[in-house]
Structure 1
Amino acid sequence: MSQRIANIPQRRAIIDRRALTEKLGALEGDDPAKLRQAATGLLKQALADGRAEIERRFLEKPSSGLSTAAAGAFLIDQLLRLLWDFTIRRLYPNNNPTNAERMTLIAVGGYGRGEMAPHSDVDIGFLTPWKQSAWSEQVIESMLYALWDMGLKVGHSSRSLDEMVRMSKSDVTIRTALVEARYVWGDTDLYEEAARRFEAEVQRDTARQFIADKLAEREARHQKMGDSRYVVEPNVKEGKGGLRDLQTLFWIGKYAYNVRRAADLVEAGLFTAHEYRQFNRAENFLWAVRCHLHLIAGRAEERLTFDVQREIAERMRYADRPGKSKVERFMQFYFLQAKRVGDLTGIFLAHLDEKYAARGRRFGLPTIRRTPRKLKGFVLDRGRLALPSDDFFQKKPIRLIEIFALADLHELEIHPLAMRAASRDAKCVDDVRDDPRANQLFLDVLSSPRDPETVLRWMNEAGVFGRFVPDFGRVVAQMQFDMYHHYTVDEHTIRAIGLLSRIERGMLAEDHPVATAILPQIVSRRALYVAVLLHDVAKGRGGDHSVLGAEVANELCPRLGLTPAETETVAWLVRYHLLMSATAFKRDLADFKTILDFAEVVQSPQRLMMLLVLTIVDIRAVGPGVWNGWKRQLLGDLYEAAEEVLRLGHKHKGRGERIAAKQQALADELGWDDDQLSAFDRRVSDAYWVAEPLDVLERNARLVNASEDTQLAIDAEIYPERDATLITVYAADHPGLFYRIAGAIHAASGNIIDARIHTTNDGRALDNFLVQDVRGQPFDNPEQIERLKQGIGDALANRVRLADRLQKKPLPRPRAEAFTIAPNVLIDNRASNRVTVIEVNARDRPALLHDLAQALFQSKVTIHSAHVATYGERAVDTFYVTDLIGDKITNAGRMKAVERRLLEAAETSDPAKAA
């Protein structure tokens, strides 16, 4: 019995084996099948009662992860022993077993360790001396059927000792499971013989290979799970910094040092007593989270998704604090524990490195070129920066910054034991925060032309980063409780700095040609790097993080050694770091006032260049799949238009000149003569020429020319430059056309990301939609495209009931219900000279755009363009509208009525309720 199981209080309240033995003994009958069925019923009830008692205790002490896991293992132990005894005494009695009929039952894997979450698999093994006898097969088969009938998910094996040894040698997974093997019941001599043979024939002299295998397995698992311990929906069991990482350390310690329990890692010299306490605390917390996950889901669930995070925070009794909700506090503590697991892993591997890798390549670390043995007082240990003495940082705290600066400058790794000392002594860096040299060294690392992301991550792992820049320390491990951000604030920031460095080094020129070209023109590159560092530094403070972050920048930049001009630039960039994306994604860039208003805030070409680069790295560092060609195009369009205004002032190319240039380019592309161009120009308005880019004008013109005699023409083709499908509808204009088209697209699982609505001078609608599928990709399958076109045609001809089809569509993000989003409507008459701009913020769901457009139709307004931006579970839909005679909506009562209708539409998925 493991020590944790032995320490469980009042074990009989969980399961009373003596009382159950009596009940099983009182069962009557001779039919083995009926007896097993009756016994299984008793044991199944005991399992349910035991689980209920464990859950009751756990909810009373919701952070008691390890004791809860041990109680789960204890319950299964007792049930297996009862079942074993009943099977060999009542079902298949064998009063005089031969030597070959000896058998023992072992627990393996996590169950062998004495840890079980409420719905974990029961991993067991049956061992026999030689090939199984007929009696052994009967016993094993009967027990397995009984366990399955009890509703347990069983992982099992039955092997002879020779088979156990042979298979352990050939399969590292089997070997790992048997490393943790624990006696449950049966022949004790046989178990001890198995343990001796495993140690002598499998384990001895194979530690180095086992360690290499487990570390390679760990690396592959991390890659599969996202290779970051800071993903905001982490896998508690398999993710980086999760339970499996701690278990890997214990497996290796047990295999290489024969430790029996995690506490023995201290005696083996792998951890200090303080580090073991950290190990135990992290393990206990992670087990508590995993047990809560299983209980909430009612099954073996390992992913900490948004919809359960809030409930677990409640269960574990976290409370709201100013600027930070209980769920954000809970998740911050989760990520701090995951970070601690990473720190402990580094320390652990350093000891293994010293023992097993002295004559060759280090575990998990690349080979480094030869370098001098000493560097600025630090020691070089096989290419890694190490310390000459344990008190090296304490004697001169500036070395806590210097070691990272040297690692960056000479492209060296830092020895894990030096990282351990840096973590321990991180508080000493408080003494040199105002030291000009320390600040210069930090700035050198931050704006390094080499690989600042890696070194800053090391600095963060050691805790030095957050101590040296306390404002950054406040966002370490801080999550943002939404479905848009994939990483914690500190991880997002470090990734953004890494992206900036890669763009500057020309490594992302294909993705970001404009940013790559303009970076050499930026006068103060270090101001840009500091702005990226600080852009989210004030999150979680209970106010506008952009405004608060600018205040932080004004205080911190002089300390870092930036000039007053650089400080002003950094503060401005932090204050307005969301301006460019908000303008590009939520406003109509064809409306010149949008460009003028944006340029008026930016004021200088230098700021514009820096803001573009900051916006790009901020978006890309949010997570995989967030950046796409559509966003690249919009930001590029805004940059070019604003750059022209800032360079030439308001006297840039006039509206008439731009229209004439587009008309000539279109005529050249299509081979039109003057009469053909004039005929098309008479049909469309000047606003149409301004709004659409040349390639869309060309597609539209071809469709119009080919559809002179048709009432309805629909074209759909991939638009690769914008990672979308362009759908054009040319039809007789009538009220409600837009919302019907939008509904048909949604019903076909399309997501509209932009829409431009035009009415020709002869009363036809010419509407362009950019559409993506649910994965944010273009519709590229010909059958999908045909279904889209057919769906639009059916909707416009009233051949289908759109409302019914839309109600059956599932949520695009089922976990979005975990978030509380109050719909909000903003009506702005200053954003455009010609139209009223209406912005609606609401929870994203199928057909939201359709419902909002229908509400506007019912409000008797005309939509000229619609722009859709989604941020995880939040949608921001912007409409450029006028009243039916083409004027802005200025009447206060009318605006209030429009607002009310839109709020009702945003709050319900039933369009009829918005009427």
Structure 2
Amino acid sequence: MSDPVPGTPRDADWAAATRAAIAESDAALAARFDADGDIDRLLAARAQAVDALVREAWSHCVPQDANLSLFAVGGYGRGELFPQSDIDLLVLGPAEAQARHRDELARFFTLLWDAGLPVGHAVRSPAECTQAAAADITVLTALLEARPLLADLDAAAELAAAVSAQRIWPAHEYYIAKREEQRARHARFGDTADNLEPNLKEGPGGMRDVQTLRWMALRIVGTWDPDSLMAIGQLGADEFATLERERRALSRLRFGLHLVAGKREERLRFDYQKLLAERLGHVDTADSLGVEQMMQGFYRSAALVLRIGDRLLQRYEEQLEGEPVAQPVDAQFELRRSYLAAREADWPRGADDIFALFAVWASREDARGLHSRTARALAEALPGIPSFRDADSGLRQRFLRLLRGPQAVETLKRMARLGVLGRWIPAFANVSGRMQFDLFHVFTVDQHTLAVLKNIASFASGSPDERFALAHQVWPKLRKPELLLLAGLFHDIAKGRGGDHSELGAVDAREFCTALELSEGDTALVEWLVREHLLMSVTAQKQDIGDPDVIHRFATRVADRERLDHLYLLTCADIAGTSPKLWNAWKDRLMADLYTATRLALRRGLEHPVAAEERVAETRQAAHAILASFGSGDEEIDALFARMPRVGFERSRPDQVAWQAASLREVAVGQGCIRARPLTGYTGALEVFVHSPDRDGLFAAIVATLDRLGLTIHQARVLDGPLDMVFDSFEVEPSDARHACSAEDVERRLSQVLAGPLDGIRPTRRTQPRHLRHFRIAVQVGFDTISHAEGPRTMLSLVCNDRPGLLADVAMVLRDQHLRVHDARIATFGERAEDVFQITDRRNLPLDDAQRQALHTALLACLDGERQ
């Protein structure tokens, strides 16, 4: 390394002083940010501060006559420098100069790194720039925005010529490549900006999308100057203003994210969301958390970027390919390069024309989308669209025809994306971009609603969807499918207002249906569905649907077959549309079993509820037939059934009873056995049957062992059989699908554990997943006394944070309190666990006040702090 230029400080001293200067400058910029300083000025100020330091370092290291030029490239080249962004530099010069000053350049880059500047650099000749950019479009994109730091006009012109469209990446090729790059990038994020932890830079509607529009304009048109783009019709003044407003909003979020993270971070993770919301001045209200307000702002910004971006990309395409030949569709519309366009320049003249557009669009499956000029005209006309309350009867009927016409769900999705649905139904605009700060709802309310409608559309496709056992059979029974669409549209529309969103949404649904002049019967059905849209889910997941009393109570609330059909389909669509991971074969079977059992109850008549004896007799007869088909005689079957608890015939399916009875054939009376079998239709899921002499701590030992095997328990049933033998059954699935357990592994491990003492068996200790640490739910413990055929029991209700090993920990607490578990219903909703247990003391009596208080205290001690 060469010696310092005379009169300059030593490198170490300069780096230390510069590091301190950077920290001081960044602190001042952070203070300006917190004082609501203009974001563009902050970005420019940081870039200018770094410019000065980079030039100073260059002067310390590189002679003036080196025949080398220095450029800022990438985001730094644009003059936008965020607190933790890379500082990308290009040294341009002939190969001979590069070689002669290799040591000086090495010293220059080392000095910048020692000063704490995250520098990325390249040293190239113009020819090498051409070669590198031709091989990698990202290199070209970075060089398109090169900004001279220490370079004359000739060097700048030489660099521009080296990467010009005449040499590499002609405009059309560049457009196609960047469009495909964008599509691939969007696909990595599920093609939606509405992720719980969105990426501000790379995600759909994020900063990279804004920059891509700029890069394409530079390559295709040769400028990003708004006046020039407006002059040639590529950009409207309103579009540019909107795009700039949202770019600044996104930039402010990204600048703040870098500050709160203290490192290069582009993903708006849960770790930083609340901190950033507080720093931006968002305050919790009764209806909305500050973090939810901030995230709603982001989602709305991203939606607008995507909306305008679609228009500009289409115009770039037309710029490259020329004005297409129009294909008439009707008197109002035509197709231009397969994009639907209004024929008249003054379209639309009113909301009727807009609804007509969506009707024609729905009838043309060959339409690629909406033509950009028509989309812009539609955007400008949005303020003139009345709400359904203010619309005339004709317009309301037009909307109803859209619901009854082809591609109804796709039409609603288009109307939502283009801002029409929010104008027509103002309550929908209120939930657009609205997120809920939890892990259960992984989409914003509007996107969840559209996902529910998409699931409903799949029921109507005519092709069975393997995710839903009965949906394709139930759908054809619907008298008016549009009523289910309306229920799906309104089921969550009142979220964020405070109060019960189901009740408030039902009021909205009635008002809307009345305005559309639906009959009282149809209106009442939609209203009921919105009010009760959680009923089936809660019943199936929190209650024992093998209990005839549960079925009778549910059937009484449903009251008739039409409501049941609609509620079943809405429930399936709702759960599956809440999170891709939430719907599974276990939930599908629960809903299908509840639907089937309720249908039978309604057919029998609510005045004739199923008696326990009747249910026992039916199950016994069906299980007997199964065993007989495998060669068992009547006498043997009766002997096996005599060893089983009566309540098992009342609450279990015939195939379960037959399987358990067959397991008893292999062991003598009073001896235990453990069996496991795959659950049909469930990947890696098992049903586990434990038949064992009863003893204290047995349930806890079983649960802890299953937990150690990496199995998540969805349902547990603990039945006391004759001769003090237990009949415990569990439905489990791997917590990680990559590490499934075989039935044989489960049988072997449980047999080993239960053969020895149970006192020392404890659940494994696991680190809590990162995302769960940011959602603290106060532990809620509730008690109730319930009646049961074998005597009264205590119902323990537990609401708390879900985490690995939760059920095993709870089971240990119950064991330590000397309590018996007779039934368990395990339900998890994102980060929230809502579990229900039927328990008694050792004498099979319900808990008294002292026992309840002791258990309450023990549970709080175990669960109130997150396990580390």
Does the alignment reach a TM-score above 0.5? yes
What secondary structure sits across from 2:624 in the alignment? Answer: helix
Which residue does 1:609 correspond to in 2? 565
Which residue does 2:247 correspond to in 1? 283
Distance in 2 (alpha carbons) for counterparts of 1:871 and 1:788: 30
CA offset digits 1:585-616 (Å, max 9, x no partner): 11111222111111111011111111010001
1:86 aligned to which of 56, 60, 71? 60
Deviation (angstroms), 1:819 = 2.2
1:665 aligned to which of 601, 625, 629? 625
**Superposed counterparts of 1:55-66, under 5 Å:** 55-61=30-36, 64-66=38-40
2:140 aligned to which of 159, 163, 175? 175
**Superposed counterparts of 1:694-843, under 5 Å:** 694-708=654-668, 713-723=673-683, 724-775=685-736, 777=737, 780-782=740-742, 786=745, 790=749, 793-794=752-753, 797=756, 806=764, 808-811=765-768, 813-829=769-785, 835-843=793-801
Distance in 1 (alpha carbons) for counterparts of 2:630 and 2:39: 71
What secondary structure sits across from 1:866 in the alignment? Answer: strand
What secondary structure sits across from 2:826 in the alignment? Answer: strand
- Of residues 72-81 and 274-283 in structure 1, the stretch that sits farther from structure 2 once superposed is 72-81
Report the TM-score, using the length of structure 1 for normalisation.
Answer: 0.87
Distance in 2 (alpha carbons) for counterparts of 1:405 and 1:745: 55
**Residues 611 and 787 (structure 1 numbering): CA distance in 2 closer, same or farther, change over 3 Å?**
closer
CA offset digits 1:215-274 (Å, max 9, x no partner): 111011111111012223211111111111101001111112222567765456433233
Which residue does 1:8 correspond to in 2? none
CA offset digits 1:816-865 (Å, max 9, x no partner): 23223222234344686764433211111222222333343455543221
CA offset digits 1:606-634 (Å, max 9, x no partner): 11111010001111111222211000111
Distance in 2 (alpha carbons) for counterparts of 1:108 and 1:671: 80
CA offset digits 1:177-218 (Å, max 9, x no partner): 111111122555323321233336436x81111111111110
1:406 aligned to which of 360, 372, 379? 360
Distance in 2 (alpha carbons) for counterparts of 1:698 and 1:123: 70
Distance in 2 (alpha carbons) for counterparts of 1:349 and 1:320: 39
CA offset digits 1:421-461 (Å, max 9, x no partner): 2222112111774322322222233344x433332222112
1:229 aligned to which of 168, 186, 193? 193
2:830 aligned to which of 872, 880, 893? 872
1:148 aligned to which of 104, 108, 113? 113
Does residue 440 (structure 1) correspond to residue 397 (structure 2)? The answer is yes
Partner amino acid, structure 2, of 1:182: R
Which residue does 2:338 correspond to in 1? 383
Distance in 2 (alpha carbons) for counterparts of 1:683 and 1:209: 77
Does residue 69 (structure 1) correspond to residue 43 (structure 2)? The answer is yes
The answer to whether the 8 Å contact 1:236/1:304 transfers is yes
Distance in 2 (alpha carbons) for counterparts of 1:588 and 1:718: 22
Which residue does 2:471 correspond to in 1? 515
Partner amino acid, structure 1, of 2:814: L
Does residue 317 (structure 1) correspond to residue 291 (structure 2)? The answer is no
What secondary structure sits across from 1:627 in the alignment? Answer: coil
Which residue does 1:4 correspond to in 2? none
The answer to whether the 8 Å contact 1:666/1:697 transfers is no
Deviation (angstroms), 1:134 = 2.6
**Residues 268 and 135 (structure 1 numbering): CA distance in 2 closer, same or farther, change over 3 Å?**
farther
Partner amino acid, structure 2, of 1:378: F
Unaligned runs of 5+ in 2: none
Distance in 2 (alpha carbons) for counterparts of 1:72 and 1:789: 64
Does residue 330 (structure 1) correspond to residue 305 (structure 2)? The answer is no
**Residues 70 and 742 (structure 1 numbering): CA distance in 2 closer, same or farther, change over 3 Å?**
farther
Partner amino acid, structure 2, of 1:70: A
**Residues 785 and 239 (structure 1 numbering): CA distance in 2 closer, same or farther, change over 3 Å?**
farther
CA offset digits 1:74-129 (Å, max 9, x no partner): 2332222121111125xxxxx7x5xxx51112222212112222222222222113
What secondary structure sits across from 1:323 in the alignment? Answer: coil
Distance in 2 (alpha carbons) for counterparts of 1:530 and 1:307: 37
**Residues 778 and 417 (structure 1 numbering): CA distance in 2 closer, same or farther, change over 3 Å?**
same
**Residues 141 and 695 (structure 1 numbering): CA distance in 2 closer, same or farther, change over 3 Å?**
farther
Deviation (angstroms), 1:526 = 1.6
What secondary structure sits across from 2:814 in the alignment? Answer: helix
**Residues 216 and 619 (structure 1 numbering): CA distance in 2 closer, same or farther, change over 3 Å?**
same
Report the TM-score, using the length of structure 2 for normalisation.
Answer: 0.92
What secondary structure sits across from 1:398 in the alignment? Answer: helix
Distance in 1 (alpha carbons) for counterparts of 2:507 and 2:260: 43
Distance in 2 (alpha carbons) for counterparts of 1:73 and 1:725: 59
Distance in 2 (alpha carbons) for counterparts of 1:821 and 1:844: 9
Which residue does 1:854 correspond to in 2? 812
**Superposed counterparts of 1:321-720, under 5 Å:** 321-358=285-322, 373-393=328-348, 395-411=349-365, 412=367, 413-430=369-386, 433-448=390-405, 450-649=406-605, 650=608, 652=610, 654-668=614-628, 670-708=630-668, 713-720=673-680
Partner amino acid, structure 1, of 2:364: H
**Residues 201 and 129 (structure 1 numbering): CA distance in 2 closer, same or farther, change over 3 Å?**
farther
The answer to whether the 8 Å contact 1:747/1:809 transfers is no
The answer to whether the 8 Å contact 2:677/2:688 transfers is yes
Deviation (angstroms), 1:886 = 4.1
Deviation (angstroms), 1:754 = 1.1
Deviation (angstroms), 1:881 = 3.0
- Of residues 647-656 and 316-325 in structure 1, the stretch that sits farther from structure 2 once superposed is 647-656
The answer to whether the 8 Å contact 1:862/1:883 transfers is yes
**Residues 266 and 819 (structure 1 numbering): CA distance in 2 closer, same or farther, change over 3 Å?**
farther
Distance in 1 (alpha carbons) for counterparts of 2:670 and 2:594: 37
What secondary structure sits across from 1:386 in the alignment? Answer: strand
Distance in 1 (alpha carbons) for counterparts of 2:266 and 2:274: 16
Distance in 2 (alpha carbons) for counterparts of 1:297 and 1:670: 65
Which residue does 1:14 correspond to in 2? none
What secondary structure sits across from 1:825 in the alignment? Answer: strand
Partner amino acid, structure 2, of 1:430: P
Does residue 245 (structure 1) correspond to residue 209 (structure 2)? The answer is yes
Percent of residue pairs identical: 31
Aligned pair count reads: 855
**Residues 793 and 285 (structure 1 numbering): CA distance in 2 closer, same or farther, change over 3 Å?**
farther
Deviation (angstroms), 1:135 = 2.2
Partner amino acid, structure 2, of 1:323: D
CA offset digits 1:362-404 (Å, max 9, x no partner): xxxxxxxx995142423443433323445422x3222222211
Deviation (angstroms), 1:152 = 4.0
CA offset digits 1:26-85 (Å, max 9, x no partner): 556xxxxxx434433333333333322222222222x74433333332233222212111
Partner amino acid, structure 2, of 1:630: W
The answer to whether the 8 Å contact 2:283/2:290 transfers is yes
The answer to whether the 8 Å contact 2:69/2:155 transfers is yes
Distance in 1 (alpha carbons) for counterparts of 2:359 and 2:590: 38
What secondary structure sits across from 1:672 in the alignment? Answer: coil
What secondary structure sits across from 1:755 in the alignment? Answer: strand
The answer to whether the 8 Å contact 1:104/1:188 transfers is no
Distance in 1 (alpha carbons) for counterparts of 2:199 and 2:292: 17
CA offset digits 1:751-802 (Å, max 9, x no partner): 2111111233122333222223334x485255x9748953784487458955
What secondary structure sits across from 1:199 in the alignment? Answer: coil
- Of residues 214-223 and 321-330 in structure 1, the stretch that sits farther from structure 2 once superposed is 321-330
The answer to whether the 8 Å contact 1:535/1:577 transfers is yes
Distance in 1 (alpha carbons) for counterparts of 2:78 and 2:671: 73
Distance in 2 (alpha carbons) for counterparts of 1:257 and 1:557: 50
What secondary structure sits across from 1:244 in the alignment? Answer: helix
What secondary structure sits across from 2:101 in the alignment? Answer: helix
**Residues 907 and 410 (structure 1 numbering): CA distance in 2 closer, same or farther, change over 3 Å?**
same
Distance in 2 (alpha carbons) for counterparts of 1:470 and 1:200: 48
**Residues 144 and 472 (structure 1 numbering): CA distance in 2 closer, same or farther, change over 3 Å?**
same
